[in-house]
Structure 1
């Protein structure tokens, strides 16, 4: 499936990996719809991109809000072809906290946004994609891309909730691809390693430097644009389906 002339929904599209993907896809001729809670940043980005970009204030866990926004995108841009799920949070949740058992409410919040939110958006978008006319002789109707993490496999201390959520995303990918195969919809996931997003800018320099030395090669943090390029390849490579691709410069995360 070509990015050019496609319509892509990008959750978490106002910053980080979502912003980088939105910029790349839009530059390649796609219509992009940004789903994000940061209205100021989302509207500013759409203003910068100009034509064929839209912002929608969406909580990915809210079924009605997602359904409404998907309808708005279809009304403006027509058929949906691509969905990139980047929206997520990563607060620290330990099994035992300083004052007692771990924060179960915060654990549930992480699962709700990162895992259930991914399913919620994907199922609503897939229903819309299934109504498309086939785009090629294979019967392709759409591509869904999830964001897992190397934490799904090597979660560090304090990442109990995040690792569980991303492990769920990774495990869900093949099953969702099997569910949607009859509809001509491919489903894949990227499992990034240490990628330089705005979150890293808040770290002390010594922490930033320590993280930058951990990848095997190249010895640096990954760039959001590199993840975006992989996202484009997965969308355009019609034989990629049901897989989780690590993008981590060979890193294997240590306990801390």
Structure 2
């Protein structure tokens, strides 16, 4: 389907995780080891913050990530304390720039891996639930963008985890009204530049893979001479579809039906339970 990652910590160059890691996101776009599809070549996007309170920058393109020379140049130049990157494998909607992640609203960025099943059957009902003031901002045709605007409608800016639970509950309720037995499969990331919220959930309990880094303080003790750990700092955090390197103690799998919130060096996990809107 798709692969994505999000980073927060000391400012680092994007190329460190997009290109230079052994199993970088660009490598995953060609050779995903844990994804539903091996190749993710239907476009890509990056979003990054110069400062947590700024509106994030964004670059999206419909080319495969591995063949975009401008992405390589941008990743070498851009140094940021928080960023999101996504490589896309389309699930029934066109390869166009407005369908590439991350999606943006104000300070918020949103990325998704997975699908709303039988999306054409439920699309109208889902879109009609989006707040009227948000509806004109929808640019593309993906289920992922609709998920984002539903979460905003349900209060993403005030209480992110609760809003995502309401979004999922509404999609599942709508899907089942249309006879869809397992309406949703997702890993998602939402960030406002100050926190990263990531969720792993699916209606069938077999979600796409999702991992996060263990404590960088602990990693520094395990690998005191690794320049990547020293550069990121002790409060750094990565959440991602697949591990970037194969080193013991570096990654922790996020359990099913779990939300992870990273903010200011603190990492908290919560049970994720969909709620009816």
Q: TM-score, normalised by structure 1?
A: 0.33
The structure where strand makes up a greater share of residues is: 2
Greater helix content: 1
